[in-house]
Amino acid sequence: MGAENKTIMKKILFVLSVALGAMTFTSCEKEDALTANPTFVQDSANSGAAGGGTTGGGTTGGGTSNFLASTDPSNRAALLEDFTGVRCGFCPDGHVRATAAKVSLGADRFIIMAVHAGSYAAPASGWANFTTPYGAGLIAQSDVAGYPAGTINRLPASNLGVPAQRGGMAMSRGSWAQAGASVNAMEAPVNIGAKATMSGDVLTVKVDLYYTKGESAVNNINVALLQDGLVSKQSGGSNSYVQNHVLRDFITGQWGQAVTGSTNADSKISETFTYTVPADYHGTSTEGGGAVIISDLKVVVFVTRGQTDVLNVIEIDID
């Protein structure tokens, strides 16, 4: 082979090596796993995902940049109202089962609200008091027969394919996960978006609703304040038992605030609620309800038909 041909071959080999190197580099880039955004996790199956103070997978509706609810049809998230008490020996097992259901179904698909109410939660010497003014009404509506009991989306237990304690909404702890899965399969007529912020001791909660289907019944917006990390003595637990998801207050009152705007399909509703957060509930002694730690607070927003039938629910942190 002549000198000229050798030179040409060297040039061809050089070009080929560069091209192969570029292809290899590009292929490695494609195969690298994407790093999840730490402040936004989109769940395409759920428009009511909690996190970062917004819902609907972090999307905006109708081209309005500050509208927080998704406009995409979705299924309902489940709301467990867990009727519990510090002197209820079987209640810690209920807490375990509720947490397991949340892990199994998804943190944004199964929302837990621990309602300390009934005889096992009533104020007593040497025991913490996590009660609210709302427990008796919720228990009466739910037809509770024993503790722990729970309702899922304030629907009759039989409608969710599980046995009721006494023919109403209340069901035993062994049924919570199955009932939650049944709710997750139901279409949601309304999507919820919300953002919660603190300024001093004032909590502001902005709530946006988007109706994917029309609602003829009166709908109520319910805004609940919950707290994690409360330590107390607990029957069936320990003297330093950590109470989570504890209902502190209903910012909108016992049964919520009626939606006054249109609830026809494609309607948008926006409401803002303010609430002065106290330093504690029932005091900070052994027999009180403990101090408020802002970083341990969460806000749960749900929409009901009247005072039952939770159409959708979300849980958010406070920014």
What are the boundaries of each domain within the chain? 73-317
Q: What is the pLDDT of residues 203-245, one digit of tens each?
A: 999 999 999 999 999 999 999 999 999 999 999 999 999 999 9
Cβ-contact 243, 226 below 8 angstroms: no
Task: Report mean pLDDT in 10-residue bins for the chain, 319 residues.
Answer: 44 37 31 28 32 31 70 98 98 98 98 98 98 98 98 98 97 98 98 98 98 98 98 98 98 98 98 98 98 98 98 98
CA 66, 228, 86, 78 torsion-angle sign: positive
pLDDT value of residue 306:
97
Q: What is the pLDDT of residues 20-49, one digit of tens each?
A: 333 333 222 222 332 232 222 223 333 333
Bridge partners, 198 (sequence order): 203
The pair phi, psi for residue 141, each rounded to 5°, is -65, -35
pLDDT value of residue 186:
98
Q: Which two tokens stand for residue 30?
A: 């494609």
Nearest one of 82, 84, 83, 78 to 107, comparing CA atoms:
78
Q: Where do the DSSP E strands lie in the chain?
A: 74-75, 78-84, 110-116, 149-152, 171-172, 187-188, 190-199, 202-211, 219-227, 230-232, 241-243, 246-250, 257-258, 268-276, 297-305, 308-317
Overall CATH class of domain 73-317: mainly beta
pLDDT value of residue 34:
29
> How far apart are the two ends of the chain, measured CA to CA in Å?
75
Separation between Cα atoms, residue 281 and residue 129, nearest integer Å: 9
pLDDT value of residue 27:
28
pLDDT value of residue 65:
62
